[in-house]
């Protein structure tokens, strides 16, 4: 047997169990040993029956006697016996519908019993406890008992029984971490960590095992990210038409002088970091993250124009046609303002390339990209198709795409490996960004432009809805507009939330004098664009929408964001919705409607009332729900970690420095073949998810 031995050969079990294991993606001994517990039951302290309390889970040592099994109430089977501890105190033990226990219970011998205590009329009853004969290793009843994620027929008890005999195979795990890192970080050997994570001998050993395995998990991710960054930096072909661009201070001063506002300090820092990257002999890979309304677009405009005025083309990619069109409008204004004061011999030409264009229009734009007559291209992922050719692409900005797939990046390498700037309006805590975007440098816009009014946020229970509706009606009568967000498009029998279609009909009854529009993800692209334009043109007073509204919609006259089923959304997403209002001069409001009055829900929504900082809310959300639920692991490129915590910023920083040091001393990993092999497998897995 070795780590690659199939589980079907490693132990005897029924086909239904092997099928369930396969559904859990557990195929080999190695997979099984790396299937870690989700929690531990601490049964390390033995008690006696005269010490137990009603309702507690206790671990006791003694003997079972007087076994009986009978049918009651027709089909129910009742198995009963007596338990006596070492002091002679007794209790009744009961199991329901487990007749096989008659054959398997260790009677009249020393056992460890663990179960929930019931005290009634001075009698002690223990229902359905775990029982094991006293032996050297108690798998189910004493010590720190591992509790695993279960699936179908696979229970924690079954896993413990099957996994314990395989623990000796842990010695065959190769050490992946360099010896100097293991020594400097005081990490225990991997084989010992795997054994202790499943069946810890002490709490201290369990903590050491978690540290060791978490460090390795993060180290692999960070090392992969650092190596990807190096590969991107080396990717620019020697004959590439793209070269370093020295920072042009005069251009920056000229551009900023054309703006009707003064950029924040954070915007100026981000501009400096990006333009400094342009000077380097390798292509930039940077993430610009900023809260809703923090001014990412003007930073992007500086980067785009910097490329153009130095003889390069630039492109900005958006996830939707609606957002692409909005970028076209915003950037056209910036360009027009700049050229009005600093006219160029060749005016800057912008083109919008989106899927809804006619084939002839697309062909004309593609030709203009290839011959260099288009300076700035704005569009969706149609800009990075195999058929697209730029004459001299110097910068690609990717907006609101949490991952930029490997295939798209390969296309850009063939365009001469331009600088890449990712932008996101979803605040990502710095530690999480280091894990998810480890191959990027990071710029953060953590200041809001002056003059933006704070948005008043309130949690609205059912009894206050009438008052809220009256308030909204007065605002609409003043000429203001309202967003209403619903979690679903249609009615759902499984989720008790209001759908967008149902809500739009309900609102027509409540507000018969007002015009109501509907927007959702199933609409055709051109219909979405038209609906948003109609709302902007004030043809609707209220726009009912699903979460498609979350990103990039700018309606300055909208002053109310009403979110139905607010408890169904995470804090980060609620904050994104809230950022769609408050973009004009009027005071704005966000109403969080919920019928869930549970304490955790109310406490979470109160965070929206108490905090306006998206980064703070992202931190709170991350701690409450974890990265998978907050950001959508599969959609965001954030890895689903088995054991490490992304909230452990100190550990992430230490691991990052260690990975960078290794790539400086051995970038090819020539001295660490086992680590290199595992890293290749990890990369293949991540790239498969990317694509």
pLDDT tens for each residue of 470-508:
999 999 999 999 999 988 766 554 554 568 888 889 999
Query: Domain check: are 353 and 482 in the same one?
Result: no
| Residues 162 and 60 occupy one common structural domain | no
CA 249 to centroid of chain Cα atoms? 38
The first and second tokens of residue 185, run together, are 């970080």
Q: What is the pLDDT of residue 284?
A: 94
- State the pLDDT confidence band at 623, using cuts at 50, 70 and 90: confident
Q: Are residues 551 and 515 in the same domain?
A: yes
Residue 159 pLDDT level (bands cut at 50, 70, 90): very high
Asked whether residue 73 falls in the same domain as residue 124, the answer is yes
Mean pLDDT taken over the chain: 89
Render the burial of 335-360: b for 16+ CB within 10 Å, e for the rest.
Answer: bebbeeeeeeeeebebbbbbeebeee
- With bands split at pLDDT 50, 70 and 90, how would you rate the model's confidence at 691? low
Chain centre to alpha carbon of residue 576? 15
332 and 383 share one domain: yes
Domain assignment present for 183: no
- Residues 2 and 119 both lie in one domain: no
Q: Rounded to 5 degrees, what are φ and ψ at 379?
A: 180, -170
Q: What string of H, E and C letters represents the secondary structure of 134-159? A: CCCCCCCCCEEEEECCCECCECHHHH
Mapping DSSP to helix (H, G, I), strand (E, B) and coil, where does residue 184 land?
helix
Return d(Cα 45, Cα 539) in angstroms, integer: 70
Looking at residue 216, what is its pLDDT?
Answer: 96
Q: Is residue 683 part of a domain?
A: no
Does residue 149 form part of some domain? no
Nearest to 57 by CA among 147, 142, 148, 183: 142
Do 110 and 133 contact (CB within 8 A), yes or no? yes
Pair of tokens at residue 24:
């859990």
Domain end, chosen from 445, 465, 480, is at 445
What pLDDT is attached to residue 293? 79
Would you say residue 375 has pLDDT above 50?
A: yes
Angle between helical axes of 599-610 and 571-578 (0-180°, round to 10): 40
| Residue in 526, 522, 529 with CA at minimum distance from that of residue 490 | 522
Residue 675 CA, distance from chain mean position: 27
Q: Identify the residue with better confidence: 431 or 592.
A: 592
Mean pLDDT of 258-284: 94
Instruction: Return the closest-CA partner of residue 678 out of 180, 221, 170, 215.
Output: 221
Report the Cα 156 to chain-centroid distance in Å. 27
Residue 355 domain boundaries: 249-445
Assign 571 to helix, strand or coil.
helix
- Residue 406, pLDDT score: 67
Based on the fold, state whether residues 351 and 288 are members of the same structural domain: yes
Range with the lowest mean pLDDT among 248-257, 601-610, 631-640? Answer: 631-640
Task: Indicate the DSSP class of residue 116.
Answer: E
**Distances from the Cα of 333 to the Cα of 259, 327, 385, 420, 652, angstroms:** 10, 10, 28, 23, 42
In the chain, what percentage of residues exceed pLDDT 90?
A: 59
Q: Indicate the pLDDT class of residue 628, thresholds 50, 70 and 90.
A: low
Q: Are 463 and 440 in contact (CB under 8 A)?
A: no
* Residues 660-689, mean pLDDT to the nearest whole number: 89
pLDDT at res. 620: 85
198: left (phi over 0), alpha (psi -120 to 50) or beta: alpha
Q: Is residue 490 part of a domain?
A: yes
The tally of domains found in the chain comes to 4
User: Is 690 or 80 the better-scoring residue by pLDDT?
Assistant: 80
CATH assignment of the domain containing 130 = 2.40.50.140
The verdict on residue 265 lying in a domain is yes
Does a structural domain hold residue 463?
yes
Mean pLDDT of 78-98: 93
| Domain CATH for 301 | 3.40.50.300
Give the integer Cα–Cα distance in Å for 325 and 529: 9
Answer whether residue 192 shows pLDDT above 50: yes
Question: Do 441 and 468 lie in a common domain?
Answer: no
Q: In the listed set 565, 596, 611, which residue is the last one of a domain according to the structure?
A: 611
Pair 578, 457: CB distance under 8 Å: yes
Asked whether the predicted pLDDT for residue 290 surpasses 70, the reply is yes
279 or 523, greater pLDDT: 279
- For residues 237-264, average pLDDT: 89
Residue 634 pLDDT > 60? no
- pLDDT for 648 equals 80
Q: Is the pLDDT of residue 661 over 80?
A: yes
**Residue 275 within a domain:** yes
The region, left, alpha or beta by phi > 0 then psi within -120 to 50, assigned to residue 110 is beta
Whether residue 591 is found in the same domain as residue 464:
yes
> Strand 542-545 relative to strand 516-519: parallel, antiparallel, unpaired?
parallel
Q: Looking at 390-526, which runs of residues are DSSP E strands?
A: 393-399, 419-424, 441-445, 456-460, 481-485, 516-519
How far is residue 671's CA from residue 681's CA, in Å, rounded to a whole number? 18
Name the β-bridge partners of 484: 544, 562
Distances (CA, A) of 443 to 14, 202, 331, 409: 54, 43, 21, 21
Residue with tokens 């800057």, as numbered in its chain: 348
Q: Please state, in angstroms and rounded to a whole number, the distance separating the CA atoms of residues 514 and 321.
A: 28
CA torsion sign, 597 to 600 to 605 to 609? positive
Alpha helices (H) along 40-123? 101-104
Is 0.85 surpassed by the pTM of this model?
Answer: no
Q: Are 362 and 488 in a shared domain?
A: no
pLDDT digits (tens, 9 = 90+) for 585-596: 889 999 999 999
Of 445, 471, 489, the residue at which a domain comes to its end is 445
Burial per residue of 379-399, b for 16 or more beta-carbon CB atoms within 10 angstroms, e otherwise? bbebbbeeebebbebbbbbbb
CA 33, distance to chain mean position in Å, is 26
d(CA 354, CA 322) in angstroms, rounded, equals 10
Say how far apart CA 227 and CA 469 lie, in whole Å: 55
Cα distance between residue 232 and residue 408, in whole Å: 13
Q: Which helix (H) or strand (E) holds 47?
A: strand 46-47
297-300 long-range contacts, CB within 8 A, separation 24+: 297/327, 297/330, 297/331, 297/334, 298/259, 298/263, 298/267, 298/334, 299/267, 299/270, 299/271, 299/274, 299/443, 299/445, 300/331, 300/397, 300/399, 300/421, 300/423
- Taking residue 77's Cβ as centre, other Cβ atoms within 10 Å add up to 16
For residue 602, the 8-state DSSP code is H
Residue bearing the bigger pLDDT, 659 or 320: 659
Q: Could you report the per-residue pLDDT of 403-429, keeping only the tens digit for each? A: 566 677 778 888 889 999 999 887 788
Strand partners, 460: 593
From 49, 165, 54, select the one nearest 113 (Cα to Cα).
49
Position with higher pLDDT, 574 vs 690: 574
- With contact defined as beta carbons under 8 Å apart, do 242 and 416 qualify? yes
Confidence of residue 627 (pLDDT cuts 50, 70, 90): low
The DSSP symbol for 6 reads: B
What would the two tokens of residue 184 be?
A: 């400097």
Q: Where are the beta strands (DSSP E) in 451-528?
A: 456-460, 481-485, 516-519
What pLDDT, in 10s, does the model give residues 124-146? 999 999 999 888 778 888 889 99
Pairing of strands 558-563, 481-485: parallel
Same domain, 317 and 460: no
Say if residue 292 is in the same domain as residue 388.
Answer: yes
Q: Does residue 342 sit within a domain?
A: yes
Residue 673 burial (10 A CB sphere; 0-12, 13-18, 19+):
exposed
Check whether 78 has a pLDDT greater than 80: yes
Cα separation, 507 vs 430, in Å, equals 41
The maximal CA–CA distance of the chain, rounded, in angstroms, is 101
Spell out the residues 6+ positions from residue 470 whose beta carbon is closer than 8 angstroms to its own.
none
Structure tokens at 347: 């005016």
């Amino acid at each position: 047997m070795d780590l690659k031995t199939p589980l079907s050969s490693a132990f005897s079990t029924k086909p239904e169990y092997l099928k369930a294991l396969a559904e859990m993606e557990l195929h080999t001994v190695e997979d099984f040993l790396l299937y870690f517990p989700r929690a531990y039951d601490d049964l390390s302290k033995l008690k006696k029956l005269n010490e137990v309390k009603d309702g507690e889970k206790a671990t006791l040592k003694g003997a079972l006697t007087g076994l009986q099994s009978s049918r009651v109430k027709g089909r129910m089977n009742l198995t009963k016996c007596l338990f006596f501890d070492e002091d002679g105190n007794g209790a009744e033990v009961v199991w329901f519908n487990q007749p096989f226990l008659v054959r398997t219970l260790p009677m009249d011998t020393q056992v460890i019993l663990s179960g929930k205590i019931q005290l009634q009329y001075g009698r002690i009853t223990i229902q359905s406890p775990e029982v094991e004969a006293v032996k050297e290793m108690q798998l189910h009843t004493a010590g720190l008992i591992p509790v695993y994620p279960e699936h179908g027929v696979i229970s924690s008890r079954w896993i413990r029984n099957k996994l314990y005999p395989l623990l000796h195979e842990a010695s065959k795990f190769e050490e992946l971490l360099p010896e100097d890192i293991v020594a400097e970080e005081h990490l225990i050997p991997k084989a010992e960590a795997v054994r202790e994570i499943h069946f810890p001998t002490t709490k201290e050993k369990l903590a050491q095992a978690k540290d060791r395995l978490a460090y390795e998990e993060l180290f692999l991710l960070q090392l992969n990210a650092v190596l990807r960054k190096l590969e991107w930096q080396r990717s620019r072909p020697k004959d590439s038409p793209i070269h370093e661009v020295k920072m042009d201070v005069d251009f920056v001063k000229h551009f900023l002088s054309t703006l009707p506002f003064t950029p924040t300090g954070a915007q100026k820092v981000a501009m400096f970091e990006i333009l400094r990257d342009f000077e380097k002999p390798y292509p930039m890979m940077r993430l610009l993250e900023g809260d809703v309304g923090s001014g990412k677009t003007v930073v992007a405009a500086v980067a785009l124009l910097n490329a153009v005025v130095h003889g390069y083309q630039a492109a900005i990619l958006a996830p939707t046609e609606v957002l692409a069109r909005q970028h076209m409008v915003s950037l056209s204004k910036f360009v027009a303002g700049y050229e009005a004061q600093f006219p160029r011999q060749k005016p800057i030409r912008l083109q919008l390339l989106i899927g809804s264009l006619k084939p002839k229009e697309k062909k004309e734009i593609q030709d203009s990209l290839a011959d260099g007559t288009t300076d700035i291209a704005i569009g969706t992922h149609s800009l990075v198709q195999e058929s697209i050719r730029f004459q001299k692409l110097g910068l690609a900005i990717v907006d609101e795409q949490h991952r930029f797939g490997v295939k798209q990046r390969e296309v850009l390498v063939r365009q001469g490996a331009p600088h890449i700037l990712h932008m996101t309006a979803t605040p990502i805590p710095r530690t999480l960004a280091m894990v998810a975007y480890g191959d990027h440098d990071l710029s953060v816009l953590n200041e809001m432009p002056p003059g933006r009014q704070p948005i008043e946020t309130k949690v609205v229970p059912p009894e206050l809805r009438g008052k809220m509706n009256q308030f909204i009606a007065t605002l609409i009568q003043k000429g203001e507009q309202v967003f209403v967000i619903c979690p679903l498009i249609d009615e759902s029998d499984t989720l008790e939330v209001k759908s967008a279609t149902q809500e739009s009909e309900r609102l027509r009854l409540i507000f018969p004098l007002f015009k109501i529009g509907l927007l959702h993800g199933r609409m055709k692209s051109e219909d979405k664009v038209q609906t948003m334009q109609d709302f902007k043109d004030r043809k609707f007073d209220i726009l009912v929408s699903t979460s498609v509204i979350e990103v990039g919609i700018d309606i300055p006259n909208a002053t109310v964001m009403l979110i139905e089923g607010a408890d169904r959304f995470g804090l980060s997403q609620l904050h994104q919705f809230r950022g769609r209002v408050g973009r004009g001069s009027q005071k704005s409001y966000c109403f969080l409607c919920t019928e869930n009055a549970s304490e955790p829900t109310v406490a979470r929504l109160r965070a929206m009332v108490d905090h306006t900082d998206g980064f703070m809310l992202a931190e709170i959300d991350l701690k409450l729900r974890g990265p998978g639920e907050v950001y959508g692991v599969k959609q965001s490129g954030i890895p689903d970690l088995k054991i490490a915590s992304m909230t452990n910023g100190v550990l992430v920083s230490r691991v990052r420095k260690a990975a960078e040091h290794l790539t400086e001393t051995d970038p090819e990993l020539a001295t660490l073949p086992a680590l290199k092999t595992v890293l290749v497998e990890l990369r293949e897995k991540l790239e498969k998810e990317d694509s």
